Structure 1
Amino acid sequence: MTKQELLKTHFGYDTFREGQEAVIDALLAGKDVLAVMPTGAGKSICYQVPALMMKGITLVISPLISLMKDQVRSLNQAGISAAYLNSSLTQGQYFTALRYAKAGRYPVIYVAPERLTTEAFLDFALSADISMIAVDEAHCVSQWGQDFRPSYLKIEEFVAQLPKRPVISAFTATATKEVREDIARLLDLRDPFCTTTGFDRENLYFAVKTPKDKYKEVHDYIMEHPDDSGIIYCLTRKLVEEVCGKLIRDGISATRYHAGLSDEERRNNQDDFIYDRCHVMVATNAFGMGIDKSDVRYVIHYNMPKNMEGYYQEAGRAGRDGDPAECILLYGGKDVVTNQYLIERGQENLEMDAATQQLIRERDQERLRQMTFYCFTHDCLREYILKYFGEYGKSYCGSCLNCQTEFEEKDITEEAGAMVRCVQSCGQRYGVNVILDTIRGASTAKIRQYHMEENPAYGDCAKIPARKLRQIFNYLVLRDYLALTDDGYTIVKLTGSSESLLDGEKHLTMKMPKEQEPKRKEKRSRLSKASAGELGEQDEPLFQRLRALRLEIAREEKIPPYMVFSDKTLIHMCILKPGNEEEMFNVTGVGRYKFEKYGKRFIDAVQNM
């Protein structure tokens, strides 16, 4: 079959997405490839289609067991034989899979990087006809990447031992210029075809908020979107447990995922989310890489992540189906301190010398600073993200909270001076809330306990709303007029720039939201489909009927619902209302293989409404 025939038969698409065909052509011509494509852009098809057209085996090197299982399950659903080789298999299962691989049963085999140089796998690889190696999540090979894995450094060693060098392709969703250069060098890519299809995800809405009560913000959002799947990312395991526990107590269908759970519990919780038994996943960043759940409608970061690469990768797990989705980051002052702690602790066990560890630590600190800038900027959030990755978009996207909020320049000299004076007078001993409550003139238990009502700055900003004072405080931290340190709990400290604000000679201004309600963003409905046309409210019953049928089939086959058909495909069915085989093939996402399995049941459901 041709590449177009394979695309339609197995994946149900009539045309390739941006960048896919050029990558496929390069691989079929025998060229190495380095492709940077955003989450949801269809990276896997770029190596799966050539794998079906090449004579030998394609090895896909993947970092996580869950990623491999998900990809293999999706391929099997599309009528393609594939297998994975990792530590989740028993010894008997592993050697059976190798035996089938030697017999040529699998054109695509997923393997963990740790397995590459083991005796059993090398014995197989040295006698197998390996035509291509595809390195997924290729940024993991770079120590400058956000998710460096030393096991990825074994890839070059493995390739060097093969009797014939295969074509090598590397794929990642987020990589700066430096990381891209590292990938090409460490994987020894030879004159590679390089492509970056763009980092922009137009269907995603971005927002940064600084709520006084983060949990209430999350709870209220979920209650407004009760039927949607969403992910809530927390920085620590403790916070995951706390947030998930509260959601469950409040009657919300939620589950959790972090490295402190047993393998079995993580697997069961992940399945509950993927199979739509739970609508909300609360997790650390250990969750999500390679999880191809296409209908995640929102990703909420309960804390600020430590770098933009990690944030965009996690946020990008929303709206993989192309439908509108929301990415909301809830910032709090302690997030900076927690991330600084994680950066320090994260270098301890890396297989590097002290000088390299220190260099990486410094770069991580700079990444954290750039991430903090994102949380405080009043410019277009989408443009900030694109600039970070070396692209330049519009200064106004119209689809982020900042673009929908009006700002004005405000003189904050007086408030800033009061904050610095308060910190200096109390000997730099207290946290953010104590400082802000003092300058507001509050009479809390802590203010009385610490005798802060005697502080010279007490009540200096009594007429300023608390939320504005917190915005100003965050701005001072961002501009290095104040600092936060972790001395058991978060403490506010002075910096070398603090003194310039004490005498009032330094005038400081910042952009602040105007005193009016921000423009309400347009209500985002799962039925709003720019790519498949507009679905009227009258078709909502049919859409729900098709979703129910999809869930019924998924339970019968013990697979996630999105592996039957995506929401995008169901919506297109509602628009076209196919009555026969020919019309069904006009629906995006319906290929020959899936039509033979499910087509008649969906046609009947459409016609019987």
Structure 2
Amino acid sequence: MLEQAQKVLKEHFGHDGFRPNQGELIERLLDRGDALAVMPTGAGKSLVYQIPALVLDGLAIVISPLISLMKDQVNALNEAGVKAAFLNSSLEPREQAEVLEYAATGACKLLYVAPERLDAPRFVALCKAAKISLVAVDEAHCVSQWGQDFRPSYLGIASFIESLPERPAVCALTATATPEVQRDILGALRLVDPLVLVSGFDRPNLYFGVERPEPKAKRTCLLRLVRERKDQVGIVYCSTRAAVEEVCELLCENGVAATRYHAGLSASERHANQEDFLYDRRSVMVATNAFGMGIDKSNVSFVIHYTMPSDIESYYQEAGRAGRDGSPADCLLIYNKKDVQTCQFLIDKSFEERSADEPVEASRILYERDCERLRQMVFYCTTTDCLRSFILQYFGQVETAFRCEHCSNCSTDFEVEDVTLEAQKIISCVLRLAQRNRQAGKALIVDILRGSKAERVLAQGYDSLSTYGIMDTVPAKRVRYVLDALVSEGMLVQTGGSYPVVEATEQGAAFLRDRQTFEIKVPKRLPKEEELAKSAALRGLKPSGANSSDPELFEKLKAVRFRLASEAGVPAYIVFANATLADMCEKQPATEEELLAVSGVGQVKAERYGAAFIEAIREHKAG
């Protein structure tokens, strides 16, 4: 059956062989066994269940919370000659009835459904009458309360599977799951003797970067980042609807073809804006995290977070929407300390809402988990160590830190500075406050140390502290930088809650008592000429088609793809991904047989689109 699976892989999806772990997982499902696959975005999770669905007799049920992904994947499957359909709230009752009738005929091989549909009477009747070959649970982390996107509707999946006349193979798939979440998935879905494969979280094609501009320079920083990628497709994430409106207006005013997406827009406008982005009529989507989950747009070359998410899981999932086809892409985050306050406010609000419906102790455990996740997110934004290493360590993939040489920290020249005296002053200030049974947040501590005359400092009598004004000649940004480093190193700790305060740890007290030294890494100050040269090099790092052997031909093939996609009424990436066009540039096929050797070109698409691409290549070669 694995040979048959490989034949299907080539015929419909245009690949000569399976990626790492795909073959083992597919073989397990073909043997009607259960599996849990933790694979990064772009590693081919969908094929893990799509291939067995085509080989096995019967109908495969794919459970997904992502309405956009259902439509995207069904479009892509239909283009590849696979009979698939979806069932969710975006369809009218008449359309839902037609889908159910189609699935009942036996012609349909994959049916995508939202978890809320599992107990709908007509759907239940279909599943009891049809032969279900397998059940795939996509975004399986949604079943876990410890996951970043828990959905109560997922808790009914195990009961649905057990209600089927004959238990099919079950496959759970996710891109982001800590070991704790993985254990929760196995238990909540009641997987039977599952094959568990964690193929790693690393995405080598992604460049990770953190920008730390002054608050007033945040808009300027965003404009610079987008302009440096003016010929590329990207997503800019904001945490609030108001920020989405502000950023979209900013980009449009500065000549960027941007559109917007958030829950405050009408359904018709959200749909129209999403279509503009998917069909490349708009190159930049500005959105809240309501957008993008499941958008299978393969040519997204950058994702910029204008505001910081509240946890690493959400950040990595959202950033991972870049470079889905394996092409180089940038994942950039603009850090501002005010974002931390916004995230904490949302966590507190969620805690209050949960406490009204759930036991206080259970709500408190989840609240403390969310606060710890936020702390880890802040550490990511403020660390001077390798960003990729930080992410992989967070997910438990590696134990020892390393340098990837492909992130903003690895590409920045740092120098080590001894800041022992400054660290002593900061920790002493925190301890002096504690002696008066007082606590303060980071901003107030900085004000005290710098001798601020603000009312909140003087009214509380903080000007009488022995540490008041002892860093009056040190810039606030520098004080804050050292303070953040002390928190990162465990000398100080910042509490959660609406009003987080800083406390000294035993490690911090020992630092003072034992007269230890404290060093931090700070970026080297390069001469102005070197800074400009470095910026220019980054701007030219990945122009359109830079990952192809012939950029001019790449652009011509993109034009052919756009025309064919417009005629077919599908997004361009559904026809062929950028990576496939790049491989065409490399191989420059002259016949349909040679075209089939291009990665991502299957038999159906070769017959449907091949002649146009072969002709474009022939004309290019002829000059």
User: Quick check: TM above 0.5?
Assistant: yes
2:618 maps to 1:607: yes
Per the TM alignment, residue 367 of structure 1 is displaced from its structure 2 partner at its CA by 1.7
* Aligned counterpart, 1:231: 235
Per the TM alignment, residue 105 of structure 1 is displaced from its structure 2 partner at its CA by 2.3
Equivalent of residue 549 in structure 1, options 538, 541, 560: 560
Q: Distance in 2 between matches of 1:184 and 1:397?
A: 32
2:319 maps to 1:309: no
- Structure 1, 423-432 or 226-235: larger mean CA deviation: 423-432
Per the TM alignment, residue 261 of structure 1 is displaced from its structure 2 partner at its CA by 2.2
2:414 maps to 1:404: no
Residue 204 of structure 2 aligns with an amino acid whose one-letter code is E
Per the TM alignment, residue 462 of structure 1 is displaced from its structure 2 partner at its CA by 5.8
Instruction: Give the unaligned 5+ runs of structure 1.
Output: none
* Aligned counterpart, 1:35: 37
2:128 maps to 1:126: yes
2:335 maps to 1:335: no
Equivalent of residue 484 in structure 2, options 449, 474, 478: 474
Per the TM alignment, residue 315 of structure 1 is displaced from its structure 2 partner at its CA by 1.3
Superposed counterparts of 1:273-292, under 5 Å: 273-292=277-296
- Structure 1, 335-344 or 408-417: larger mean CA deviation: 408-417
* Aligned counterpart, 1:160: 162
Superposed counterparts of 1:168-187, under 5 Å: 168-187=170-189
8 Å contact from structure 1 (residues 321, 566) kept in 2? yes
* Aligned counterpart, 1:577: 588
Q: Deviations over 1:563-606 (max 9, x none)?
A: 11111111121222222112211211111101111110111111
What's the secondary structure of 2:411's corresponding residue? coil
Equivalent of residue 345 in structure 1, options 346, 349, 366: 349
Residue 512 of structure 1 aligns with an amino acid whose one-letter code is K
Q: Distance in 2 between matches of 1:209 and 1:376?
A: 10
2:389 maps to 1:389: no
Equivalent of residue 249 in structure 1, options 249, 253, 273: 253
Per the TM alignment, residue 338 of structure 1 is displaced from its structure 2 partner at its CA by 1.7
2:516 maps to 1:512: no
2:159 maps to 1:145: no
- Structure 1, 324-333 or 56-65: larger mean CA deviation: 324-333
Identity of aligned residues (%): 47
Equivalent of residue 27 in structure 2, options 25, 28, 49: 25
Q: Distance in 1 between matches of 2:480 and 2:304?
A: 21
8 Å contact from structure 1 (residues 337, 484) kept in 2? no
8 Å contact from structure 1 (residues 298, 327) kept in 2? yes
What's the secondary structure of 1:145's corresponding residue? coil
Q: Distance in 1 between matches of 2:8 and 2:309?
A: 39
Instruction: State the number of aligned residues.
Output: 599
Per the TM alignment, residue 112 of structure 1 is displaced from its structure 2 partner at its CA by 0.6
8 Å contact from structure 1 (residues 500, 506) kept in 2? no
Q: Distance in 1 between matches of 2:463 and 2:352?
A: 43
- Structure 1, 502-511 or 375-384: larger mean CA deviation: 502-511
What's the secondary structure of 1:334's corresponding residue? helix
2:551 maps to 1:540: yes
Q: Distance in 2 between matches of 1:363 and 1:451?
A: 35
Q: Normalising by the residue count of structure 2, what TM-score does the alignment of the two structures yield? A: 0.88
Residue 147 of structure 1 aligns with an amino acid whose one-letter code is D
Residue 503 of structure 2 aligns with an amino acid whose one-letter code is T
Q: Distance in 2 between matches of 1:573 and 1:140?
A: 38
Aligned Cα RMSD in Å? 3.2
8 Å contact from structure 2 (residues 441, 501) kept in 1? no
- Structure 1, 299-308 or 475-484: larger mean CA deviation: 475-484
Per the TM alignment, residue 546 of structure 1 is displaced from its structure 2 partner at its CA by 1.1
Q: Distance in 1 between matches of 2:375 and 2:443?
A: 22
Per the TM alignment, residue 510 of structure 1 is displaced from its structure 2 partner at its CA by 3.7
8 Å contact from structure 1 (residues 411, 507) kept in 2? no
8 Å contact from structure 2 (residues 205, 329) kept in 1? yes
Change (3 A) 1:480 1:329: farther
Q: Distance in 1 between matches of 2:135 and 2:66?
A: 17
8 Å contact from structure 2 (residues 393, 401) kept in 1? no
2:571 maps to 1:560: yes
Q: Distance in 2 between matches of 1:454 and 1:244?
A: 48
Q: Deviations over 1:544-565 (max 9, x none)?
A: 1111111112222221111111
Q: Deviations over 1:221-255 (max 9, x none)?
A: 11111011111222222222222221122221112
Per the TM alignment, residue 409 of structure 1 is displaced from its structure 2 partner at its CA by 3.5
Q: Deviations over 1:444-466 (max 9, x none)?
A: 99999999999987875465455
Residue 515 of structure 1 aligns with an amino acid whose one-letter code is K
Per the TM alignment, residue 289 of structure 1 is displaced from its structure 2 partner at its CA by 1.5
Change (3 A) 1:307 1:433: closer
What's the secondary structure of 1:2's corresponding residue? helix
Q: Distance in 2 between matches of 1:250 and 1:324?
A: 26
Residue 317 of structure 1 aligns with an amino acid whose one-letter code is R
Q: Deviations over 1:477-518 (max 9, x none)?
A: 54474748887xxx7845355995999986562422243338
Q: Deviations over 1:172-214 (max 9, x none)?
A: 0011111111111111110011111111111111122211122
Change (3 A) 1:363 1:445: closer
8 Å contact from structure 1 (residues 405, 513) kept in 2? no
